[in-house]
Amino acid sequence: MNIASLSTDQAPPISVPLRFFAVAPLFLVLAALMLAMSDGNPFAAAQTPALLAATHCITLGFMAMVMMGATQQILPVVIGSPLPASRWVAWLTSVPLGAGALSLCGGFMSGNARLFNLAWPLLGVAFLVFIIAAMLSLWRATAKNVTKTAILLSICALAAAVTLGILLARGFATGTALDYAALSVAHITMALGGWVMLLIVGVSYQVVPMFQITPAYPKWLSAVLAPALFAILLLNLALLLTGAEQTWIAAAGISFWLLAVCFALVTLKLQSQRRRKVADATLNFFRLGMVSLLLAALLWLVALLLPAFDMPLRLLSAIAFIAGFAMSLIQGMLYKIVPFLVWFHLFRGGVNAVKVGIPNMKEVIPERLMWWHLRLHGGTLLVALLAPWWNPAAWLAALGLLLQGILLGYAVFTGIAVYRRTLRRIELLAV
């Protein structure tokens, strides 16, 4: 692993990213409980209250929690520009994000307007603080690289997605007459296609070659992919909000998915060229993610050809994207980032750290646990894809999510325990 290109001296305290990673698995457990509390099969339609609540437990409580924590680590280390007041930013994003996600999900489950009215200001504060801090860090950064561009564009997409989400949630609370269908599609597109996709693209440019020891992404792809995806999303947003013809909206959608397919195929090809051919659970999380992205694209494109099956096919495409693509990659990255952070922050202990003998990255979280998680995650994804048609699969998907939350939480806390134990030994040696 080559970390020479990283500005490791700029890294924030380990407590900054770890607090986000420690809370996130709890929201997988909550998502499972929301699905289990549904009256009937929550996957039977796209917008059942339990599915909306579980979706936001996953997208806000889990994905946004991890991605915001990881960005607060990546910006200083990869771009070389620390976030201003990193500890304050960590508190002012993690706490309102957690509380806002809980109230929003409570609002979806109960339909209670007060919960929506509590959720949107809390989420507004969390995302506003994060977006301002991240933009300041990007603005101050002198480094120019493709990851910086992709992260910048992903944050712009996040700002749009959150604004639309807040409009919708406020509209739910006040009963304001809005074009909910168009706003909802615009919100989902900017959140998933914009923020999630662009951030994963930007981070992959660094993580895939560094952790998976592959060749770098080809320049023809890394230079144009993120700006092209963003331009298509902006065009799509304008078309949706101005009520343009479906043909144009479909054309923008097709262009987006073709670029996504290109990204997935290039990543899979790079992984097949990796220099160390040892079996690795995190690499397989990544591969599952890329195959799921291809599946999400296929389902979306087939939905265009078969309008009679539009709703279930688009729901399956969203499941493949969120549970298959985004969750696989985020979990795979967590299993790399947590051991890396533990090792790296202990390594900074200097001479005493060498004397105590710090664990290497493979010893922080047992590899066996990661393989079990991978199998469980693959099984959960499979049953979730069957859930719209087969009721027992919906309950199995909820059970899978519950077990994944427990397993991931255990893994993260194992990493934290290793860090604390070794640090204590280093400190004892120093006195």
Q: What is the CA radius of gyration of the chain?
A: 21
Q: What is the dihedral of CA 369, 370, 371, 374, to 10 degrees?
A: 130
DSSP state string for 9-73: GGPPPTHHHHHHHHHHHHHHHHHHHHHHTSSS-TTSSTT-HHHHHHHHIIIIIIIIHHHHHHHHH
The two three-digit tokens of residue 154, written as one number: 């992903």
For ligand HEM, the binding residue among 29, 60, 327, 398 (CB under 6 A) is: 60
For ligand HEM, the binding residue among 27, 43, 120, 257 (CB under 6 A) is: 120
Q: Which amino acid is at 16?
A: V
Q: In a 3-state reduction of DSSP, which class is residue 244?
A: coil
CA atoms of 136 and 104, how far apart (whole Å): 28
Per CB under 6 A, does 156 bind ligand HEM?
A: no
Q: Which of residues 39-58 bind ligand HEM (CB under 6 A)?
A: 46-47, 51-52, 55-56
Per CB under 6 A, does 192 bind ligand HEM?
A: yes
Per CB under 6 A, does 168 bind ligand HEM?
A: yes
Per CB under 6 A, does 184 bind ligand HEM?
A: yes
Per CB under 6 A, does 325 bind ligand HEM?
A: no
Q: Are 276 and 213 in contact (CB under 8 A)?
A: yes
Cβ-proximal residues to 115 (8 Å cutoff; 6+ apart), any chain: 103, 104, 106, 107
Per CB under 6 A, does 241 bind ligand HEM?
A: no
Length of the chain: 431
Q: How far is the CB of 312 from ligand HEM (least distance, A)?
A: 13
Per CB under 6 A, does 166 bind ligand HEM?
A: yes
For ligand HEM, the binding residue among 109, 173, 188, 249 (CB under 6 A) is: 188
For ligand HEM, the binding residue among 77, 102, 160, 169 (CB under 6 A) is: 169
CA atoms of 349 and 212, how far apart (whole Å): 27
CA-nearest of 73, 90, 94 to 82 is: 73
Residues 2-41, one symbol each (x = binds ligand HEM by CB under 6 A, - = not), give: ----------------------------------------
Q: Are 55 and 322 in contact (CB under 8 A)?
A: yes
Directed axis angle between helix 15-36 and helix 391-430, to 10°?
160
For ligand HEM, the binding residue among 28, 64, 152, 288 (CB under 6 A) is: 64
Per CB under 6 A, does 172 bind ligand HEM?
A: yes
Q: What is the dihedral of CA 25, 28, 33, 37, to 10 degrees?
A: 160
Q: Cβ of 174: how many Cβ atoms within 10 Å?
A: 12
Identity of the residue, 284 or 328, whose beta carbon is nearer to ligand HEM in the bound complex: 328
Identity of the residue, 155 or 318, whose beta carbon is nearer to ligand HEM in the bound complex: 318
The stretch among 157-165, 216-224, 273-281, 289-297 that binds ligand HEM (CB under 6 A) is 157-165
Q: How far is the CB of 146 from ligand HEM (least distance, A)?
A: 22
Q: Which amino acid is at 222?
A: S
Q: How many residues bind ligand HEM (CB under 6 A)?
A: 28
Cβ-proximal residues to 16 (8 Å cutoff; 6+ apart), any chain: 69, 72, 73, 86, 87, 90
The stretch among 128-136, 183-191, 348-356, 386-394 that binds ligand HEM (CB under 6 A) is 183-191
Identity of the residue, 115 or 346, whose beta carbon is nearer to ligand HEM in the bound complex: 115
For ligand HEM, the binding residue among 191, 264, 333, 397 (CB under 6 A) is: 191
Q: Are 282 and 337 in contact (CB under 8 A)?
A: no
The stretch among 187-195, 344-352, 387-395, 416-424 that binds ligand HEM (CB under 6 A) is 187-195
Q: Which of residues 88-107 bind ligand HEM (CB under 6 A)?
A: 104
Per CB under 6 A, does 383 bind ligand HEM?
A: no
Cβ-proximal residues to 5 (8 Å cutoff; 6+ apart), any chain: none
Per CB under 6 A, does 68 bind ligand HEM?
A: no
Cβ-proximal residues to 78 (8 Å cutoff; 6+ apart), any chain: 6, 7, 145, 147, 206
Identity of the residue, 48 or 422, whose beta carbon is nearer to ligand HEM in the bound complex: 48
Binding residues (CB under 6 A) for ligand HEM: these are: 46-47, 51-52, 55-56, 59-60, 63-64, 104, 120, 123, 161-162, 165-166, 168-169, 172, 180, 184, 187-188, 191-192, 196, 318
